[in-house]
Structure 1
C-alpha cells in the first residue's frame, strides 16, 4: 500500500515538473524568439501584438523591457492564430528581400504587399523574425515523406530536368530544462529532439520517429518527442537547443531559420 501511494506521488511530481518555459510555450498559440537588437517596440512592430498584451502574456519582461535575452521565447497569443485569414505564414530570415521571399514561396509581389501593408514600397523595412502573411500559400500541406529533398506546394528554385525542389519551413528552438514532453519522456536541453507543430502532430502518432532536418549544408537527425502548438506555420518545428546548435552555429543570433525536414 505504501509503495503504491509513493509511486502515485512520484508520477504526480514528474507530471508537474515541466519547466515554466515549456509549460508557457505549450499554452501559446503563437510564439516569437528574441533576436539580436530586439526591443519590445520592435517585436510589437514585427508581430502586431500590443504592448499591453506582450507584457501580460510575458510577465518576466520588466516594465522598461530591459531584460530581453537573445533566444528567449515569448508568448504572443493564447487564443487562435494571430495571422487572421492567412493560410500560411513566412518568417523573415537574415538576407531576405521581398523578391527572395517571393521566389521561395511562390507568392506574387502584389499579393505579398497586399497581405502585409506594413511593408513599404521599396521593401526596405523587413526585419529578421518578422512574420509575414502569405496569400495563396499552403500552410496546411504535409511535409515531404521521402528523402530530405521532396516535392511540395512551394517551389523554392526554378529547376529543370526533373530536379526536385526543396520546401522550406520555419524552425525555432527551446530549452526543455528537464520537463516532460508531450510524448511522455523527460527532455534535456542537449537532446537531439524535435517538437512537431499541430499540423503534423497526428495525436502523437509520430512519437519516437526519426526526422531529417537540413539547414544550408548541415543535416542532422532528431527524434520526435514533443508538441509545439506555437510553431510558425502548420509545418513549423521546434528543436531542443542542442540540436539547433548542431544545425546552425549562429543559432542565437538567427533565432528563426528556414529548414528542409522530412520523416526518415
Structure 2
C-alpha cells in the first residue's frame, strides 16, 4: 500500500508500515485532541468508481484484501460499530472479533477486547438467535424508538441485547443516538451503513469523518449510493486527510471542516 496524499514528509508513516494492520492503525487513529467524553463518528463505506454502494446486492464484490485490512483496522479502533438493520440482514452480520495484534492497544485505551455492535432498527424485526446476539464478546446494542413493539423489545432483551431508546415514536434520532451511546461510554464510533441510515446521520450533522474506499470497477445499474436518503442541507464541506492506494483501490479519508 502506498500513500498518495499527503506526500510523505519527515514525520509521515513509512509506506511499508501501511501493509500491516498496526501501521494502518496509526494512519487511521481517532483524534486525540478532543475533550474526554466527546463522541467522534466516522463512517466506513465502499463504492464502485461510478458510485454504486453495492454490486449483486452486497458490498463484498466491491472489496479487496486491502479493503478488508482497512475494514478490520477501523473496527479494531472503535468502541462501537453502528449499522442499520437492513444491512445486518443483507450482509449476515456477525459480532466483532478480538484480535491479538490489537489487544495491547485496546487495553491501553481502556477498551474491551472487541467493539460492540449497535443495530439501528425501528421495528426490531431481527433474528435474535443469530450469533450477533447470542455470541458477542461485548453485548450487542439495539437502538430504536420509544414506540417500538413491546414484544420485540422483550425478545431483544431476552437475547442479551442492550436496548437503547434513541427517538420518539418508532424512529431513531441520529443526534440523540450519538448522545445516548456516548453517555454509555462509547465515544469512538464507526458507522458501517447502510446507505439510507448513513444519509440520516449525515443529514443530522453528526458525521465527523468519512472513510471511503473507491473500488476500480464499473457496475452501472440502479444500486444505491453510499448515502441514499435525506439531503444534507446546506451541503457540508469535508476536507481530505489522506489517500492511500493498493491494486487500483483508493482508500480516502475526509473530515468535516
The TM-score with structure 1 as length reference comes to 0.27
Q: Which protein is bigger by CA-based radius of gyration? A: 1
Larger relative contact order (C-alpha < 8 A, sep ≥ 6)?
2
The TM-score with structure 2 as length reference comes to 0.27
